[in-house]
Structure 1
Amino acid sequence: MTKLNRTTHPVSSNPERVLQFGTGVLLRGLVDYQIDKANKQGLFNGSVVIVKSTGGTTDEFAQQDNLYTVAVRGVRQGQSISENTLVTSVSRVLSAQTAWRDILNLAKSPSLRVIVSNTTEVGLQYVEESIFQNPPQSFAGKLTAFLYERFKDVGGSRNRGLVVIPTELVVDNGLKLRDLVERLAAHNELGKLFSKWLKFHVRFCNSLVDRIVPGKPEAGIKKQIEEELGYEDDLLTMTEPYHLWAIEGDDRVKEILSFAGANPNTIVIDEDITFYRERKLRVLNGSHTISVPLAYLLGHEIVLDMMNDPLSSQFIREVMQQEIVPTVPADDVALVKEFADEVLDRFRNPSIEHLLLNITVQESAKMQARNVTTLQRYYELFNKVPDRFALGFAAYLRFMKVTHEDKGTYYGEVDVAAGLLNYPVKDDRAAYYYGIWPAVQTSDEASVRAFVEKVCSDKDFWKADLSALPGWVDAVSGYLYKMLNKGVRATVKEALA
């Protein structure tokens, strides 16, 4: 079988219009994929230069002349989706460690209009450093150095301004990145004229990306797809069908990001993307957080198992549709309901093995960030206990029943059909629960209730007194008591009957 490259698959080249910090699969499976789609429709006609900020070589890209395939696999509206796209939008992949001067030279290119990044949350942290290193240590340092190089070349020209779009999963990521660059500019004494050019001619856009991109499939699936393609592809990238890239911007941003026209339903440019962020946080992330501990305690390992069990599938569908969707602020509720249906399809994707234990990492912090506001909104709207939420919260507390600690790792255990299951609790609150669970007399309803009330009244952690919500402690403690004495499956089955 032939190797994928530009000799076996010749493609046309385009001007380098996008600089991308990050070689990860999310950018390859969403951003570069969308730009490729736009190029093929004649809507952008631009290529992407990727900067590899971390150590290591760029050989895997060079060996394939920066070509790779995106294999879309999953379910959409009950229909199986299988699509392969040869992505040709990447022109070069440069290492910041070995090709920093080449990267800075790109700053002088008149065709460059856009900078995109995904450097994880760590990339949006301030590191006080000189930007004149080769290269600077932090992502913000590298970006500041690049922008300053462009400023020196263009002399403050408006026509050579840029649109910067971070995609790191941080709220207001564009504003945070701008603040980092401005602080580094001040620290490095880059001058008032640079600060003025930065303020008026470099647009930092908040953005939100939403697509599950597992990356390279396991060997058997990879071989099967390569047989379909007729070539070997060591950069083969698996994704789900669903994708959304919401970008905060005005008409000027829309003009520069003309690639959005290739699919305006999945690349949204709007002056306020709060709705898209809220919808994803509450419906997708929030439903994960409230349902995964319950599904794991039922004996499941991956999200697909959760969806194939009628009991856990019913729970997540009902908690999402009945108790989460109504609380999402929206001018058009139908858009929220439609998104919820899409999320359920995504959870049923047979091509993605999403481990439930991985989702439970920092479960407590996720519960606070994603679901407390939803809970409060439900009470404001309906003035009653959201019953499915109470069941999910009880399962969370049962999951956090830490029984032992070994070399700094905490563990819980639960009886499932296959026997006694021990599992790691990777949560900053694990030590807290390890300290308070021993006082609970599991066969005493009053003792269980006192435990739930203690947890829920912790205003410092929850940023609210959950115990003050009418009926909440009684509902949660009732479910938790049954889980401890009847078992999780029996409790859930009875609650959903």
Structure 2
Amino acid sequence: MDPQRIDAMPKSGQIGFVHLGLGAFHRAHQAVYLERYRQRSGDTAWGICSANLRASIGLVDGLSAAGHRYHVAEYADSDNITLREVGVIEETLFSGRDGAGNWSRDREALLVRMASADTRIVTLTVTEKGYFLNPANGELRVDDPMIIGDIASPQQPRTAPGLLVEALARRRETGIAPFTVLSCDNMPDNGKRTRQAVMQLAEHRDAELASWIANKVAFPCSMVDRIVPAMTDADFGRLAALDVTDPNAVVCEAFSQWVVEDHFPMGRPSWEAEGVEMVADVAPFETMKLRMLNGSHSLLAYLGALAGIETVFDGVNHAELRALLRRYMLEEAAPTLEMPAGIDLDAYADSLLARFANDSLRHRLQQIAMDGSQKLPQRWLSGALKRSAAGQSSPCVALGMAAWIRYTAGEDLLGNRYTVDDPLAARFASLHQAQGSDSAALVAAFLSMDDVVPRELAADKGFVQAVVAAYQTLTHDGLRGALAALDHN
């Protein structure tokens, strides 16, 4: 096996982007597009300063020690690999707590970088919970301790919205035009939601600042797509066999997509040649991906994890689960979408199943299962609500909700314990303890969480009954029994 090897461009030292959320996805997606753009165009003005806000100080320091170069292994399958060196990141910073627990380290350096006239675009991959928005109504969580801290000490921000507000305030005070804010997280209307978080936080600080942001700052929407599993020892072993010893390396699929609303008052790279789709309206593509790809991933995650299945590859090769995913995509998700002419949703569903079956990726279901309370409203529940309003049922989503509720107990159907990684994990544990073995009461308690489940959907008796029935079948008869019962619906 001899992979195609592509070296990075020489460093330029120029920074036009600041990115919040230095994780694997950013390094395998936005940074790769910009590296390819630099190599093709020779335009070196768009280097990146990437910052982590809360975790992974080791990655920040590791990349710095490596001269901000790392490798991305893009797998079409186990035998077709592109090994790409990326050097477009020029600086890495950490704005979270230091070893002594202080919020100091690089926060001021990050704010200075964001306030610089050289910074024209700020991008984000901070996950849904990083915006501190209520999933049910989109309002800023002003009761969250982190947001309370940003309101009390706005010049010492701890959150992504707080950093954006403070950096924009500094630019306003010095007469520098605002940067464009580009969310690259999996949220519907991610640009609008980012604007909502920033605007509401700014209003707590200064009405005139909030008005300036409303009138001057662009928040385009985007849709991103690339499967980037968390790195494992096996992944590093595979790279070592290719003579790559790089602790900052990332493994991902070969497929990549980026759809961006074309609204950049401060300019942008001409990255269309790299396949970035610049459009007037991202919403149809966002919703398609969230409901079909991400929704399928979540179905697989909760049902598969409960049955002891570890990866997407293993799950999609489970015949009944694969059939469930196809049924969900074509019968429940696709009919809720309003796509431009020429988009073949049947073909899209087939392409997703093929991507899930990539034998070179080991995307862990436990990774996908994280933060379900933040993800499921846009992945499942918005579509199910639309079907409910039209008098239609959503049995696949009902089964998914039953699996999610059971998953939040922290123990799979085989008796194996695991950590429930979710901002609402403590509330979930309290609900399970309070309701015990009363499945109907437990389901009712979860569906009554109106910061997760739309009230109109929770009021749909047919949907509630379907979740209760699926929960009981899943608990008593296991995964195969639950899937068999679904076949009769």
TM-score bin (small chain)? 0.7 to 0.9
How has the CA–CA distance of structure 1 residues 226 and 13 changed in structure 2, closer, same or farther, with 3 Å as cutoff?
A: farther
Question: Is the 2:305–2:412 contact (alpha carbons within 8 Å) kept by the matching residues of 1?
Answer: no
Pick from 151, 165, 182: which aligns with 1:128? 151
Q: Deviations over 1:23-60 (max 9, x none)?
A: 22221111111111111110743211223444746431
Q: CA RMSD in A?
A: 4.2
Q: Give the structure 2 partner of residue 287 of structure 1.
A: 296
Q: Aligned runs of 1:40-439 on 2, under 5 Å?
A: 40-42=39-41, 44-45=43-44, 46-54=46-54, 56=57, 58-75=60-77, 81-96=80-95, 97-99=104-106, 102-103=109-110, 106=113, 110-121=117-128, 123-125=130-132, 126=147, 127-133=150-156, 136-153=157-174, 155=175, 160-182=177-199, 192=208, 198-215=213-230, 217-228=231-242, 230-250=243-263, 252=264, 256-264=267-275, 267-332=276-341, 334-361=343-370, 369-378=378-387, 385=393, 389=396, 393-394=398-399, 397=402, 400=405, 410=409, 412=411, 414=413, 420-423=414-417, 426=420, 428-429=427-428, 431-432=430-431, 435-436=434-435, 438-439=437-438
- Mapped to 2, the partners of 1:306 and 1:283 lie a distance apart of 16
Q: Displacement, 1:16? A: 1.9
- Mapped to 1, the partners of 2:204 and 2:472 lie a distance apart of 57
Query: What TM-score, normalized to structure 2?
Result: 0.74
Q: Deviations over 1:161-194 (max 9, x none)?
A: 42221334444443444455556656655x95x6
Question: Is the 1:400–1:425 contact (alpha carbons within 8 Å) kept by the matching residues of 2?
Answer: no
Which of the two has higher C-alpha Rg?
1
How has the CA–CA distance of structure 1 residues 479 and 36 changed in structure 2, closer, same or farther, with 3 Å as cutoff?
A: closer
Query: Relative to structure 2, which stretch is displaced further, 475-484 or 369-378?
Result: 475-484
Amino-acid identity (%): 21
Pair 1:463-2:455 in alignment = yes
- Mapped to 2, the partners of 1:487 and 1:260 lie a distance apart of 48
Q: Give the structure 1 partner of residue 138 of structure 2.
A: none
Task: In structure 1, give the amino acid aligned to 2:362.
Answer: E
In structure 2, runs of 5+ residues without a counterpart are 1-6, 96-103, 133-146
- Mapped to 2, the partners of 1:121 and 1:474 lie a distance apart of 29
Question: Is the 1:315–1:496 contact (alpha carbons within 8 Å) kept by the matching residues of 2?
Answer: no
Match of 1:300, SS state, is coil
Q: Displacement, 1:82? A: 1.6
Question: Is the 1:284–1:343 contact (alpha carbons within 8 Å) kept by the matching residues of 2?
Answer: yes
Q: Give the structure 2 partner of residue 446 of structure 1.
A: none
- Mapped to 2, the partners of 1:178 and 1:396 lie a distance apart of 30
Task: In structure 1, give the amino acid aligned to 2:32.
Answer: Y
Q: Displacement, 1:72? A: 1.2
Q: Displacement, 1:198? A: 4.0
How has the CA–CA distance of structure 1 residues 173 and 367 changed in structure 2, closer, same or farther, with 3 Å as cutoff?
A: closer
Q: Which structure carries more strand by proportion?
A: 1
In structure 1, runs of 5+ residues without a counterpart are 1-7, 403-408, 415-419, 441-449
Query: What TM-score, normalized to structure 1?
Result: 0.73
Q: Deviations over 1:199-245 (max 9, x none)?
A: 44432223343333235x334432432443x4532211112223333
Task: In structure 1, give the amino acid aligned to 2:23.
Answer: G
- Mapped to 1, the partners of 2:247 and 2:166 lie a distance apart of 33
How has the CA–CA distance of structure 1 residues 183 and 241 changed in structure 2, closer, same or farther, with 3 Å as cutoff?
A: same
